[in-house]
Amino acid sequence: MPVLAVPHPLIRHKVGLLREEGSTKKFRELTGEIARLLVYEATADFPLEPATVTGWCGEIPVERIAGRKVTLVPILRAGLGMLDGALDMIPNAKVSVVGVARNHETLQPEPYVDRFVGHLDERTALILDPMLATGGSMIATVDMLKARGCRDIRALVLVAAPEGIAALEKAHPDVRCWTAAIDSHLNADGYILPGLGDAGDRIFGTR
Ligand code: PRP
Ligand code: URA
């Protein structure tokens, strides 16, 4: 399953709401809600270990996530719209920031900033970006993470195009991707149809 369209009804419902024209506030809220649900799905295989806590009746056996270090990797700008939702689910996650701009003429990714946390070889990276269109921005980000030793890389997106899925699977078959929806195709300008329009503009209110 390198790319999985998460079948959960809450996600499918919320993506439908996201597609509707509406306020920046509503778009941001839905983006955050879906990000939480995608994190929930993408972390389902995290191993647990037994632990003990002191509770109201004394020592109580519990479970906790076993030594899993996570870095969230929002791709600027639009990935920032998913960051707070993801942090709600993994409050201790470290955040690595990557800036990749898609050239509007060539559709090629142009990385412009990166601030990675340390010890990437010990971490699971959850890349956050609402749109997987040509796949160029995601592939460039995975390239950067791998170059720094990261081995467990997972991508969370709101909408993926078949073209981007094929490109990501070809370039990085080991990277799993959870998406809220797989759409029809890219238009001549590289926008996903039906898609969401320009996700960055909708999150930042710049359209
Ligand atoms: C958008 C989007 C992805 C990228 C997807 O970002 O958020 O990062 O395009 O397209 P691709 O799969 O063809 O690379 P954009 O570069 O427009 O920047 P923004 O987030 O600042 O709006
Ligand atoms: N970036 C977006 O924001 N939307 C698309 O449809 C494609 C790339």
Mean pLDDT of 91-106: 96
Kind of pairing between the strands at 123-128 and 152-160? parallel
The domain spanning residue 12 has which CATH number?
3.40.50.2020
Q: Is 203 in the pocket of ligand 1 (CB under 6 A)?
A: no
Tell me the pLDDT of the chain averaged across its residues: 97
Helix (H) or strand (E) holding 5: strand 3-5
Decide if 50 is inside a domain: no
201 lines ligand 2 (CB under 6 A): no
Token reading at 98: 């990557």
pLDDT tens profile 109-132: 999 999 999 999 999 999 999 999
Q: Taking 80 as the threshold, does the pLDDT of residue 207 lie above it?
A: no
Among all chains, which residue has been given the structure tokens 């990085």? 172
Overall size of the chain counted in residues? 207
**For residue 14, what pLDDT band results from cuts at 50, 70 and 90?**
very high
Q: Which residues fall in the annotated binding site for 5-phospho-alpha-D-ribose 1-diphosphate?
A: 77, 102, 129-137, 198
- Domain-located, residue 55: no
Task: For residue 64, tell me if it sits in a domain.
Answer: no
Return the ∠ at Cα 135 (arms to 177 and 83), rounded to 5°: 55
What single-letter DSSP state applies at residue 121?
Answer: G
H or E element, residue 111: strand 109-115
Please report whether residue 60 resides in a domain.
no
- The rounded Å distance from CA 189 to ligand 2 centre is 9
**In this structure, is residue 166 part of a structural domain?**
yes
- For the cut 80, the answer to whether the pLDDT of residue 1 exceeds it is no
Instruction: Specify the DSSP element, H or E, that contains 184.
Output: none
Number of domains, the chain? 1
Distance between CA atoms of residues 130 and 156, nearest Å: 8
Say whether pLDDT at 68 is over 80. no
Residue 192 lies in a domain: yes
Question: What pTM, to 2 d.p., does this model score?
Answer: 0.97
Is there a contact between 102 and 186 (Cβ–Cβ < 8 Å)?
no
- Does residue 110 lie in a domain region? yes
65 occurs within a structural domain: no
For residues 191 and 119, give the distance between their C-alpha atoms in angstroms, rounded to a whole number.
Answer: 35
Residue 201 alpha carbon, nearest atom of ligand 1: 22
* Domain carrying residue 170: 3-45+70-204
- Report the separation in Å between the CA atom of 101 and the middle of ligand 1, taken as the mean of its atom positions: 6
Could you report the per-residue pLDDT of 177-203, keeping only the tens digit for each? 999 999 999 999 999 999 999 999 999
Structure tokens at 205: 């209110």
Residue 144, SS3 per DSSP: helix
Write the ipTM. 0.98
Q: Whose CA is nearest to atom 7 of ligand 2?
A: 191
- pLDDT tens digits for 133-151? 999 999 999 999 999 999 9
CA 27 – ligand 2 centroid, Å: 15
Better pLDDT: 1 or 57? 57
Helices (H), 20-109: 24-42, 80-89
User: From CA 72, how far away is CA 170, in angstroms rounded?
Assistant: 23
d(CA 175, CA 154) in angstroms, rounded, equals 6
The percentage of the chain sitting over the pLDDT mark of 70, rounded to a whole number, equals: 100
